Structure 1
Amino acid sequence: MEELEFLSTDWPTVKKWLVIGGIAIATFLLFLFLARKSKALLSKKLVKQMDDGLLANFLANIFGATVILFGMLVVFRIIGLTGVISGLLAGAGISAFIIGFALKDIGENFLAGIILAFKRPFRVGDIVDVSGIKGQVLTLNLRDTQLKTGDGQDIFIPNALIIKNPLVNFTIDGFLRYDFIVGLDYGSEYASAMQLIRDVIPEVPGVLKDHKKPTVWVNELAESTLNLQVTFWVDTFDRSIPDLDVKSAVILKVLTSLEKAGFNLPARIVELKNYQGKELKTSAPDPL
């Protein structure tokens, strides 16, 4: 067999295979060098274009692995093992089919990871929701995407699941809105209260003032209060102040400002009407 000719003890043959082996090793080292250099250059270029180092490295690693795989095929051709490899592949058709079927999910998630890397529906640090799972994106792997939930859990979601289901990205454009309800007592100066809220919210650090101004509008006529819907925006790219701290500060600022201005913020009021004029019996003790 020609592929096993290098096992001969004839010196000219040994010399021939030493030369071929040296060329093969040099070729493999050359492709290894090209893979590392091309991966580094591609990563830098993608980082500038995508502004996301993790996704850029993900694509660069795939490209580097492809270069190495191509280099191995060239090395096999140099040393004359293409015939042996072709025979092994032809004889292992059924096994390859079985293995490929068993690894279907792995291949599906790998391809889904490539699609996510190119489509880029999220960046590292974005807050996303996938099928009811909400968390911050930590990393994009070849098989899954790692999220960190608000209570500190690390969840690994298969990439194919992200592709097949709706994904909500709360922070992709850098703006996130928060809102809450304020109930005013009926008979209050509603317009003055609404203007007061608009004035005091921008005083809280972390609240956007120019691009996305706070808004206040009437939400509903409730049983005991006129409910106002209060909304404000934060910059998700600014991590100096946590969003929940900003929301807490805004709510406290609004409540204290309304109370200082004399506005009543009542709880739920229950009104009892005695249409028959009879005495109402209660469990309260009789006054002395």
Structure 2
Amino acid sequence: MKDQLNTAFGNLKDKLFGWFNAIIENLPNLILAILVFVAAFFLARYVSKLVEKLVVKRVEQKSISLVVSRIASVITVLVGLFIALGILNLSQALTSLLAGAGVIGLVVGLALQGTLSNTVSGIVLSFRDRIRIGNWVETNGYSGEVIDINLNTFILKEADNNIVIVPNKMILENPLKNYSLTTRMRVFLECGVGYESDLEQVEKLTKDTIAKTFDQVEKPEDVEFYYTEFGDSSINYLCRFWIDADSMLEKLRAKTTAIIEIKKAYDNAGINIPFPIRTLQFDNKLGIENSKTPQESFSEN
């Protein structure tokens, strides 16, 4: 038993001396590796702040700039770690670390596929120049003002002040109409006048009223006016004109103003805007013959 303890103690002592000698021999590389890793750690802070400043100039969303800066910081630290391991000649450990990171990344990617998809989509949307906070857009059956684009969701505020939260990947996968990309919008106005109306007078009065109401319409000839059909109780027309607007709310306000002014002009000119009327007439005499019962008909035969 004593010999076994001496042998074990001797092996342990040889092992410790071997490690000590290895540390002494590799001490310069160890010190250099530590310095490289520490330098990478402090450099990561500088890179993070620099990247955040650069991203803020392109992206309004604070969350996006923070995520991008953190990713840049992590990459800087990982590069410093790999260089430090290379200085220590730990290539095998470096290979194992990369393999483990690949496996972990695959597992995490499969588990968080939907979340990662929304995150990547949010980053892509944040860097798109044609989609910005404050724009009025229509997508996925919803229309409203963009109030936020974060890492997971695309948030809209509709005209009725309701908030709509849409996953980012649905924005990229579906068409999006941005009304704020142009500063001009066309207003469509449909109406009808009575059959007794002078159609030429109606057209001229409508164009003149719109030209006087909106500064953007320089002359009556800029207003498009087309009669569309002979309706059940009126002759219907379509009127179109351009206004300076970049949101649906401004377009709705302009249409409301146009309807009010046209109605006033028609009232002053005695032009009728008819509406369907149902008349019930009760003075018709219905010829009702006295029918015989089956028993009476049978008895007569």
TM-score normalised to structure 1 length: 0.72
* Partner amino acid, structure 2, of 1:77: F
Aligned pair partner of 1:260 in 264, 268, 273: 268
**Aligned-partner SS, 2:181:** coil
CA contact (8 A) 1:182 1:227 kept: yes
CA–CA distance in 2 between the matches of 1:236 and 1:39? 34
SS of equivalent to 1:125 = coil
Equivalent in the alignment of 1:24:
37
What code does the residue aligned with 1:137 have? V
Find the aligned partners of 1:65 and 1:185 in 2 and give their Cα distance.
69
- The equivalent residue for 2:77 is 72
Asked if residue 232 in structure 1 is aligned to residue 279 in structure 2, the reply is no
Task: Output the TM-score relative to the length of structure 2.
Answer: 0.69
1:201 aligns with 2:178: no
Partner of 2:48: 35
Distance in 1 between residues matched to 2:105 and 2:60, nearest whole Å: 33
**CA contact 1:27–1:75 (8 Å) conserved in 2:** yes
Unpaired segments ≥5 residues, structure 1? 47-52, 282-288
Which is worse superposed, 101-110 or 29-38? 29-38
Partner residue in 1 for 2:194:
185
Structure having the higher helix fraction is 2
Structure exhibiting the larger radius of gyration computed from Cα positions = 2
Q: What's the secondary structure of 1:263's corresponding residue? A: coil
Given the superposition, is the C-alpha separation of residues 138 and 202 from structure 1 closer, same or farther in structure 2, using an over 3 Å criterion? Answer: farther
Identify if the C-alpha distance between structure 1 residues 262 and 153 changes in structure 2 by more than 3 Å, giving closer, same or farther: same
> RMSD of the TM alignment (CA)?
3.9
Is the deviation greater in 138-147 or in 108-117? 108-117
Between the two proteins, the alignment pairs up a number of residues equal to: 260
**Residues 18 and 92 (structure 1), Cα distance of their counterparts in 2 relative to 1, 3 Å cut:** closer
CA contact (8 A) 1:208 1:232 kept: no
Aligned: 1:110 with 2:119 = yes
Q: What residue is the counterpart of 1:280 in the other structure?
A: 284
Following the alignment from structure 2 to structure 1, what is the Cα–Cα distance between the partners of residues 113 and 94?
23
Report the alpha carbon displacement of residue 109 of structure 1 after superposing the two structures with TM.
2.0
Task: Name the residue aligned to 2:60.
Answer: 54
Measure the CA separation in 2 of the matches of 1:20 and 1:236.
Answer: 62
Is 1:148 matched with 2:157? Answer: yes
Q: Distance in 2 between matches of 1:93 and 1:26?
A: 26
Distance 1:89 1:34, change over 3 A: closer
Percent of pairs with identical residues: 25
Query: 2:143 & 2:247 partners in 1: Cα distance?
Result: 20
Instruction: Please give the alpha-carbon distance, in whole angstroms, between the structure 2 residues aligned to 1:187 and 1:106.
Output: 64
Aligned to 2:177: 168
Asked if structure 1 preserves the Cα contact closer than 8 Å seen for 2:179 and 2:246, the reply is: no
Work out whether 1:126 is the aligned partner of 2:139: no
Distance apart, 1:35 and its partner CA = 3.3
Contact 1:123 1:172 in 2 (8 A): no
Structure-2 separation of matches of 1:82 and 1:62: 31
